[in-house]
């Protein structure tokens, strides 16, 4: 629920847009509150390095569901993607089955899906791995292999989320989780080359840790939360990502 006004959203978006034009090798998907999508879409140029997405979608296409927004509406507003399964949505009661339905509906509208999953806490017995496996497995239930190219898998450990970069996951542990995620997907789609799976990390991403997370964590990108509203910090994250891609 940020920024609070369209004027603020326009200022943030315009400044990010200028930065994006300088670093065309960094792809940015900006997901503002849904009512800002259409007016912001009219401000961007036609380059594909900066695109718009929604923060959530309904799993139904139409009907008497006051206040909900469908994937078709999102696409018609000018978005090309949508976040599904975000930890904040899960905290409000959204379960894996609903997330699966949302993913299926968004994919049918040819939207890029940012599929979020992650454990709330860790335990010494490895129970969190079973939770992650279930989130991924149920989330992808009946999703065809051909659709995987339109999914960004966003690992988002809830215990690592906060405003301070020190809370982010250890990059070496992140690398292990990336391997685990690829393993689970390979079990669901045995003939799919899991090297093609694109995995993002979200959780206390900052200018100070972005480079290490990308390099040592072996992820393909970052899901930036709080710092996406702090333009100087977000610019530094974009530049760091550019430097990582350029290597």
Contacts of 142 (CB under 8 A, 6+ apart): 100, 104
Task: Choose the catalytic residue: 94, 156, 175, 242.
Answer: 156
Which residue's entry shows tokens 């966003």? 154
* Interatomic CA distance for residues 178 and 189, integer angstroms: 16
* Interatomic CA distance for residues 209 and 221, integer angstroms: 13
Q: How many helices (H) and strands (E) does the chain have?
A: 9, 7
Q: Which residues pair with 29 in a beta bridge?
A: 51
Q: Mapping DSSP to helix (H, G, I), strand (E, B) and coil, where does residue 115 land? A: strand
Task: Choose the catalytic residue: 47, 86, 172, 196.
Answer: 86
- Strand order through the sheet with 221-223: 28-30, 50-54, 81-84, 112-117, 151-155, 198-202, 221-223
Active-site residue 242, yes or no? no
Active-site residue 86, yes or no? yes
Catalytic residue list: 86, 156
């Amino acid at each position: 629920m940020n920024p609070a006004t369209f004027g603020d959203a326009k200022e943030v978006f315009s400044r990010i847009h200028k930065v994006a034009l300088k670093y065309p090798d960094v792809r940015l998907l900006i997901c503002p509150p849904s009512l800002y999508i259409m007016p912001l879409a009219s401000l961007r140029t036609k380059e594909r390095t900066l695109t718009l997405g929604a923060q959530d979608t309904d799993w139904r296409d139409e009907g008497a569901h006051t206040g909900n927004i469908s994937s078709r509406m999102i696409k018609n507003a000018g978005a090309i993607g949508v976040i599904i399964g975000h930890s904040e949505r899960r905290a409000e009661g959204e379960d894996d089955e609903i997330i699966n339905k949302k993913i299926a509906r968004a994919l049918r509208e040819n939207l890029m899906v940012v599929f979020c999953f992650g454990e709330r806490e860790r335990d010494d017995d490895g129970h969190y791995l079973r939770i992650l496996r279930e989130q991924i497995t149920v989330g992808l239930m009946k999703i065809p292999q051909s659709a995987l190219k339109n999914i960004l898998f966003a690992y988002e450990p809830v215990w690592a989320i906060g405003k301070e970069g020190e809370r982010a996951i250890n990059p070496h542990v992140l690398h292990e989780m990336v391997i685990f995620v690829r393993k689970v997907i390979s079990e669901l789609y045995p003939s799919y080359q899991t090297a093609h799976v694109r995995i993002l990390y979200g959780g206390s991403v900052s200018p100070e840790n972005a480079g290490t997370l990308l390099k040592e964590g072996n992820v393909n990108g970052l899901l930036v939360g709080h710092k996406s509203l702090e333009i100087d910090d977000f610019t530094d994250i974009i530049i760091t990502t550019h430097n990582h891609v350029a290597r």
